[in-house]
Amino acid sequence: MAGRTYAYYPGCALHGTAREYDVSARLVCQTLNVKLQEIKDWSCCGASSAASLSPLLGIALPAHNLKLAAAMELPITTPCAMCSYRLKTAAHELKDEATARQVSEVLGSAVGPEVTVEPLLQVLSEDLSFPIRKPLTGLKVACYYGCLLVRPKSVLQFDDEENPQTMDRLITALGAEAIDWGLKTECCGAGLPLARPDLVHRLAYRIISLAQRLGADCIATACPMCQSNLDIHQKEIEAEHGEKLGLPIFYFTQLLGLALGFTPRELYLHKHLTNPLPLLRAKGLG
C-alpha cells in the first residue's frame, strides 16, 4: 500500500455531491504515502443507469476508463462503491472474447490489457499500522458496506457478502469500536429517492434505527450514494416516525482522517446534513 501508485478514478459523485469523500480520501492517501494519479479524461462509469438501458454501454463506459488506466500501467483505485462495482464488472465481462470484440467496436479501438481494480477501502486496509495521532477511543461505529462493495462475490472477490469485515478491522485499528450487526450489506434504497421516497425512508430507517438501537454513535460508509441517502433523509424520517435519529454518517476516510490528526473542517465534515460535530465534541474528537 504505502509507496504504491494508483490510477485514481474519483467518479462523478466525488466531484459533485461527495466532495468530502474526495477531499478526505486524498488527504489520508497523502499522509499514508499512497500516491494517487487521477486518470486524465476519465468518463462516467455509467453507474446503474447505463447498464439498465444497454448492457453493452454499461461495459463500454468503464472499459474506456480501464483502457486509460492500462495506458498508465497502473492499477485503478476508486473510493466510490458504485464505480468500483462497474469497473470490476466490466473487467470481468471483458474476459469474454466476444464481449471484448463488441466493446472494441464501440470504443473505436481495441480494449486495453487487463487492469486490476481495487476499491480504496481495500487499498487502505492492506496495512493497518496507521500513524495515529488521535485515537477514536470510545466511538462506537456501525460499519455499513451497502449493496455494491461486496456483491456479487464471484465478480468482486473482495469480502464476505453477508458479514464483511474489512471496514470493521480498519475502524478497530483507529481505536474505535466496530459493533457487530446484521445489516451491513442491506440495501438503503439509494437508487429510488425520487421515484419512491416512501420506500427509501423505510429502508434507511431500518438501517439507521438498528445501528442506533445496538448502541452505535455513527455509521461509517464507503459509498457516496449510501452516505447521502442515509444522511439527508433523517429529518423527514424523524418526522414520519416521531423519533429522534440524528445519527452522523461518515465516510470511512473521514474517520481515518480524524485519527490521523486532520480537523473536521479539513475533512469537510461541515458538509454533512446530520451534524457530526456535537458527537465529535462529546467524544473529545472535535
Partner 1 sequence: MARIGVFVCHCGSNIAGTVNIAQVMAAAQTMPLVTFVADNKYSCSEIGQTAIREAILKQKLERVVIAACSPQMHEATFRKTVAQAGLNPYLLEIANIREHCSWVHSNDKAAATKKAIELVKMAVAKVARHEALFTKEIGLTKKALVIGGGISGIQAALDMANAGYPVILVEREPTIGGRMAQLDKTFPTLDCSSCILTPKMVEVAQHPNITLLTYAEVKSVRGFVGNFEVEILQRARKVDASKCTSCGICWQKCPEKIPAEFNLGLGPRAAIYTPFPQAVPNIPSIDLAHCRYIKYQEFVARGEEGKKPPQCRICERLCPPQAIDWEQSDQVLVEKVGAIVVATGYQTFDHTRYGEFGAGRYPDVITGIQLERLLSASGPTEGEVVRPSDGTHPKTVVFVSCVGSRDERMGRAYCSNVCCMYMAKQAILLKEHDPEVQSYIFYIDIRAGGKGYEEFIRRAQEEARAIYLRGRISHIYQDGKKLIVRGEDSLLGRPVEIAADLVVLATGIEPSAGAKELAQSLNISYDAHGFMVEAHPKLRPVESRTEGIFLAGTAIAPNDIPGCVAQGSAAAVKALAVLSRPSLVSDPMVAIVDPLRCTGCFACQRACAFNAIDSQVTRDGKTIAVVNESLCKGCGLCVSACRGVAMNLKGFSQQQLLAEVNALWR
Question: Binding residue for partner 1 (CB under 8 A) from 55, 152, 182, 197?
Answer: 182
Question: Binding residue for partner 1 (CB under 8 A) from 6, 85, 145, 181?
Answer: 181
Measured between alpha carbons, how far is residue 241 from residues 109, 207, 219, 237, 245 in Å? Answer: 54, 14, 20, 6, 10
* Site membership for partner 1, residue 105 (CB under 8 A): no
- Three-state DSSP state, 132: coil
Question: Binding residue for partner 1 (CB under 8 A) from 162, 198, 240, 243?
Answer: 162
* Site membership for partner 1, residue 183 (CB under 8 A): yes
Task: Answer yes or no: are the C-beta atoms of 28 and 256 closer than 8 Å.
Answer: yes
Residue type, 195: A
| DSSP state at residue 270 | G
* H or E stretch at 258: helix 252-259
Q: How far is the CB of 152 from partner 1 (least distance, A)?
A: 12
Nearer to partner 1, 32 or 214 (CB): 214
* Site membership for partner 1, residue 154 (CB under 8 A): no
Q: What Rg value do the Cα atoms of the chain yield, rounded?
A: 19
Q: 152, exposed or middle or buried, with CB in 10 Å at 0-12, 13-18, 19+? A: exposed
* Site membership for partner 1, residue 277 (CB under 8 A): no
| DSSP state at residue 15 | G
* Site membership for partner 1, residue 160 (CB under 8 A): yes
Residue count, binding to partner 1 (CB under 8 A):
12
Which positions from 201 through 230 interact with partner 1, judged by CB under 8 A? Answer: 210, 213-214
The rounded distance, in Å, linking the Cα atoms of 150 and 164 is 8
Q: How far is the CB of 182 from partner 1 (least distance, A)?
A: 2
Residues making contact with partner 1 (CB under 8 A): 160-163, 180-183, 186, 210, 213-214
